[in-house]
Structure 1
Amino acid sequence: MGACNSPQAETETPDIEISEEELRTHISTLASDEFEGRMPFSAGEEKTVGYLEAQFQNMGLEPGSGDSYLQAVPLVEIEAVPTTDLIIQSDEEELKLTYRDNFVALTRRVTDQVEVKDSELVFCGFGIVAPEYGWNDYEGVDMKGKTAVVLVNDPGFGTQDSSFFKGNTMTYYGRWTYKYEEAARQGAEGVIIVHNTAPAGYPWGVVRSSWTGKALYLQPEDNNMSRCAFEGWVDIASAQKIFQSAGIDNYLGMARQADFKPVSLGMTASLSMEVDYELATSQNVVAKLTGSEYPDEYIIYSAHWDHIGVNEPVEGDSIYNGALDNASGVAVMLEIANAFSKLEQKPERSVIFLAVTAEEQGLLGSAYYAENPIYPLDKTVANINMDGIWFLGPMKDLTVVGYGQSELDEYAEAAAKAQGRYIIPDPQPEKGYFFRSDHFNFAKVGVPALYASGESEQMEKGKEWTKEQNAAWTQKHYHQPSDEYIADEWNFEGMVLDGELLFNIGYRLANERNFPQWKSSSEFKAARENSLN
């Protein structure tokens, strides 16, 4: 194995077909009502896993997990339902926040009931402890028995100052996952994130649908008793009432100060939840094409097969079909796998196709794979992830989420140029998309990861039209039952282009000796260097 600092000369790629007809078949099947929104532990999972196994078998691809196409992922399914309003109490008044309308809450604790009574509310800014930025929002406070109230995203968001954290580009500190983890590390009894659509990157309706109902987690050794008793969100209007009652006018400006210190709000929170839980196993689906020269070096394509199942009805529809998110990515991966399977001369390195479970529940399937890799991470050359491949037609751009992180940018640029397209960074870095799909778990363990597709400039209709379509879809259909496959509204030309491009990148990686590197500014560089030494 040899690592070098720059990509080698491009490999000539073969002519392949990404079939629009097959893409339509895959998406219309996976996003049908029959598959019930593809929730893990449901009949929808059984149908989805069976479909994927059959597709890989029909292509002649080998089982990718020993003699099986399945990698078991042990999970716990928890349904926590508040039995009371969230009661916010001060000496002067009582605020009753209604479940779903004003707040959502869940617990990761494997227990029958959660009871939080008169837990002191403490405003903890953005809930960040970041030594490299000289930042500690919990400085000087003992959070035992208390509930942290924190803001979404980073202090730099909205300041237009790229040197303040990363400005509008979200860091991992801005993600809700981090804020829940840090509150637990601080010993807090509860944690509430203040929702705001712009810095969150999605409206309250997404919080309402995604943080209610059954939730999945990797099975924990300590039954998650080290986590906060409850983790929740509160809508912006309710949060403003809380801050006003506490006499805090400019809570955002206050939290942006480098010398911010936690502030008791002079109020308490009380909440009860009934909890049902079940230990069960979901499945990643894995197929393999063994390399002809270097079979112990691997390129991994990934896409998550799950969505959020059957949930709260919207306009009479309770099946969250997940057509774009992510039947589209799975369909493109299947077509790429089919193209590899038909090659007359097999690639030199092995190519793995990994359909992961429980992405919508916190990237759990890919997290489990990263912690329990089937193929050695130090021999894994790169991950190419597909999540939400647009149906708006052919795009001039190739948008790279996390641009600037690794040398895979140069591979993407070369592949885009060959199609007469150009490459751009994610135009909405504030939404933290780099931390919101399965490539992130590969990055965390040091494997260079690419997450790219066309989404910013439709070839005929231009940038503004495309931007409007993206915004409208996110507002109306993201994590809603209306994310459905509608045959006469889907234009597959862009999906075909992206499929060809991602095939070409993987083919090039699979037929050269280079191991792409993280760039010097990447926070993932050290993990890769450690794995290679």
Structure 2
Amino acid sequence: MKKKWFLSANLALAMAFSAFGQNPVQVKYANTITAEDLREYLTYLASDEMKGRDTGSEEGKIAANYLADFYKNLGLTGPADGSYFQSVPLVSNAFTKVTLQVGKNKLVENEDFVFTGDGNMPKAVKGDLVFLGLVTDENLAKVDVKGKLVGLWAVGVRSNDLVAKVMDAGAAGIVIVTMEGQANFDRIANRYKTLAGRGRIGFDQETKQRPVFMVSSDKMAELFATPVETLKEAAKANPESIASQKATYQVVKTKTPVEAVNVMGYLEGTDKKEEVLVISSHYDHVGVSSTGEVFNGADDDGSGTVSVMEIAEAFAIAAKEGNRPRRSILFLNVTGEEKGLLGSQYYSENPIFPIANTVNNINIDMVGRIDYEYQNAENKDYVYVIGSEMLSSHLKKINEYNNITYTNLILDYRYDAEDDPNRFYYRSDHYNFAKFDIPVIFFFNGVHDDYHQVTDTVDKIEFPLMTKRAQLIFHTAWDLANRDQRTPVDGTNTRTDR
């Protein structure tokens, strides 16, 4: 993928004279962001005692109170009628019994399959499992899917729309392969096993009878008594050549309310106070494993959360010393990101301040580490920047100017592409602001071996680099909060579908 590291002529000129362009007031407050403070806050939030800050957990509530107290002590206000919390109405959907049997093969949940769909079936359902393979109109014309479990081959494609199309064609449920190789499937199954018993947290919605069972390519071949390569070929054009199988399945679901909150600290601006800059992170992580190991979430997203705290402190100190920003700033730590960007979705759809008055969202998610791409690089002072030029022609330039003037990080745009196979743009909270045409900028350090593992711990954080990244974000926020005109929305949101 082509790396877009090119600077405009104006920015190149700014680089040459950056020493003369620094604002000493801005530098003074940026320097209050220190590695020592970041380490102190993160050591607490990502400690074993916080048990992974799972959404709606007691430790998640402790983390929320810790953030609210921090903002209160800074002198920031609670913008929700004096409160620092916005309640997010969630429920836990627990599938207390999920069974799948094909022929005499009784599959084991979270070993042979993972359940990714929805449904509530008090009695077991018996029927046929047929093979459709690729979801094409030609295949659908060859295979009768009505009232049946349907085997799909969806490797390398987005499966949600395919599942919907087959269910709309009358299928009773889906058995799907989304990745080849047993090892890839086992990683997914292990994660589901870790989360087993806690339920899936989300907004309360009507139950859909849409059972979806994900299996490995090897398991699908076993179910149809057909070699993998033969099944792959049949998936393309002759799925009817694969014999159907008898199947029995059941899904039992229970719902439990979950108490969860977004945390907010508000700093009112001066002459442009009606306009609001939102600086966000998610403070939740994924809790503990089935064996009691803690997913500390130091990088994901403890690093972003404590960066927001330090940036808030820098602005609060400036305000106390008579350098209050022109625009207002909302420091927003959202819940439920790990469950599907839930907290940011709720805020964007139920904003404390009108969306029309929200000028930008700066989102910080994982800024404490060095990823695979840079682990052996000579210069490791980098950060990935995502989404900054989609909706506004100004935002990327503003960030680049402040980087050249103050921090001189490598700004890497390789993941800021519509065809990024990692889909990082769609995987953090800025997404829910961009969908309302708010110009966003997402700061990210990339993935590493400890991503979503119990080994994502504080001792592996690169605090000097994290400090530099947080200072860049502060400088960009200072600029956005104080410039004469808000960044124009002169682009089109081309990434609307998660």
Q: Which TM-score band applies after superposition, normalised by the shorter structure?
A: 0.7 to 0.9
What are the within-5 Å matches in structure 2 for residues 204-223 of structure 1? 204-210=186-192, 212-220=196-204, 223=205
Counterparts of 1:186 and 1:30, CA distance in 2: 48
- Do structure 1's residue 401 and structure 2's residue 386 form an aligned pair? yes
Instruction: Assess if the C-alpha contact under 8 Å between 2:234 and 2:241 holds in 1.
Output: no
- Do structure 1's residue 323 and structure 2's residue 298 form an aligned pair? yes
| 1:529 paired residue number | none
Aligned length: 457
Q: What are the superposed Cα offsets for residues 171-199 of structure 1, whole Å, 9 maximum, x if unpaired? A: xxx3x66666666666654344424279x
Instruction: Name whichever of 445-454 and 181-190 sits farther off.
Output: 181-190
Instruction: Assess if the C-alpha contact under 8 Å between 1:215 and 1:361 holds in 2.
Output: no
Q: Secondary structure at the match of 2:290?
A: strand
Instruction: Measure how far apart 1:368 and its partner are.
Output: 1.2
Instruction: Assess if the C-alpha contact under 8 Å between 1:78 and 1:108 holds in 2.
Output: no
Q: What are the superposed Cα offsets for residues 212-249 of structure 1, whole Å, 9 maximum, x if unpaired? A: 342344433xx422x34334422232134346639873
- Do structure 1's residue 421 and structure 2's residue 430 form an aligned pair? no
Distance 1:42 1:398, change over 3 A: closer
Q: Give TM-score, length-normalised by structure 1.
A: 0.74
| 2:219 paired residue number | 238
Counterparts of 2:58 and 2:441, CA distance in 1: 32
Instruction: Name whichever of 397-406 and 280-289 sits farther off.
Output: 397-406
Distance 1:520 1:490, change over 3 A: closer
- Do structure 1's residue 40 and structure 2's residue 55 form an aligned pair? yes
Instruction: Assess if the C-alpha contact under 8 Å between 1:122 and 1:146 holds in 2.
Output: no
Counterparts of 1:137 and 1:450, CA distance in 2: 42
Q: Give TM-score, length-normalised by structure 2.
A: 0.79
| 2:126 paired residue number | 117
Q: What are the superposed Cα offsets for residues 135-187 of structure 1, whole Å, 9 maximum, x if unpaired? A: 999789886534454455755xxxxxxxxxxxxxxxxxx3x666666666666
Instruction: Measure how far apart 1:422 and its partner are.
Output: 3.1
Instruction: Measure how far apart 1:452 and its partner are.
Output: 2.0
- Do structure 1's residue 284 and structure 2's residue 244 form an aligned pair? no
Counterparts of 2:105 and 2:480, CA distance in 1: 58
Partner amino acid, structure 2, of 1:397: Y
Counterparts of 1:231 and 1:143, CA distance in 2: 14
Q: Secondary structure at the match of 1:338?
A: helix
Instruction: Measure how far apart 1:524 and its partner are.
Output: 5.1
- Do structure 1's residue 517 and structure 2's residue 489 form an aligned pair? yes
Instruction: Measure how far apart 1:356 and its partner are.
Output: 0.9
- Do structure 1's residue 23 and structure 2's residue 75 form an aligned pair? no
Counterparts of 1:140 and 1:29, CA distance in 2: 59
- Do structure 1's residue 383 and structure 2's residue 361 form an aligned pair? yes
Percentage of identical aligned residues: 27
Counterparts of 1:400 and 1:282, CA distance in 2: 29
What are the within-5 Å matches in structure 2 for residues 360-509 of structure 1? 360-392=338-370, 395-402=380-387, 405-407=390-392, 408-418=395-405, 419-427=407-415, 429-455=420-446, 470-471=447-448, 473=449, 477-486=450-459, 489-509=460-480
Q: Secondary structure at the match of 1:385?
A: strand
Counterparts of 1:252 and 1:36, CA distance in 2: 46
Counterparts of 1:518 and 1:186, CA distance in 2: 40
Counterparts of 1:496 and 1:37, CA distance in 2: 23
Partner amino acid, structure 2, of 1:519: G
Counterparts of 1:396 and 1:153, CA distance in 2: 36
What are the within-5 Å matches in structure 2 for residues 17-416 of structure 1? 17-84=32-99, 86-89=100-103, 94-106=104-116, 108-109=118-119, 113=122, 115-118=124-127, 120-123=129-132, 125=134, 145-150=147-152, 155=157, 174=158, 188-196=171-179, 204-210=186-192, 212-220=196-204, 223-225=205-207, 227-242=208-223, 245=226, 249=230, 251=232, 266-267=244-245, 269-313=247-291, 317-343=292-318, 344-392=322-370, 395-402=380-387, 405-407=390-392, 408-416=395-403
Instruction: Assess if the C-alpha contact under 8 Å between 2:391 and 2:438 holds in 1.
Output: no
| 1:163 paired residue number | none
Instruction: Measure how far apart 1:41 and its partner are.
Output: 2.5
Q: Which runs of 5+ in 1 are unaligned?
A: 1-5, 129-134, 156-173, 456-469, 526-533
Q: Secondary structure at the match of 1:312?
A: coil
Counterparts of 1:79 and 1:385, CA distance in 2: 31
Counterparts of 2:177 and 2:429, CA distance in 1: 25
Give the root-mean-square deviation of aligned CA atoms: 3.7
Instruction: Assess if the C-alpha contact under 8 Å between 2:283 and 2:301 holds in 1.
Output: yes
Counterparts of 2:233 and 2:304, CA distance in 1: 37
| 2:4 paired residue number | none
Distance 1:238 1:72, change over 3 A: same
Q: What are the superposed Cα offsets for residues 320-364 of structure 1, whole Å, 9 maximum, x if unpaired? A: 222211111111111111111111311111111111111111111
Partner amino acid, structure 2, of 1:482: T
Q: What are the superposed Cα offsets for residues 382-412 of structure 1, whole Å, 9 maximum, x if unpaired? A: 1111111133498333312346523333333
Instruction: Assess if the C-alpha contact under 8 Å between 1:152 and 1:193 holds in 2.
Output: yes
Instruction: Assess if the C-alpha contact under 8 Å between 2:155 and 2:178 holds in 1.
Output: no
Counterparts of 2:172 and 2:428, CA distance in 1: 28
Instruction: Name whichever of 22-31 and 508-517 sits farther off.
Output: 508-517
Q: Secondary structure at the match of 2:325?
A: coil
Counterparts of 1:294 and 1:265, CA distance in 2: 68
Counterparts of 1:224 and 1:143, CA distance in 2: 24
Larger relative helix fraction: 2
Q: Secondary structure at the match of 1:72?
A: strand
Instruction: Measure how far apart 1:40 and its partner are.
Output: 2.2
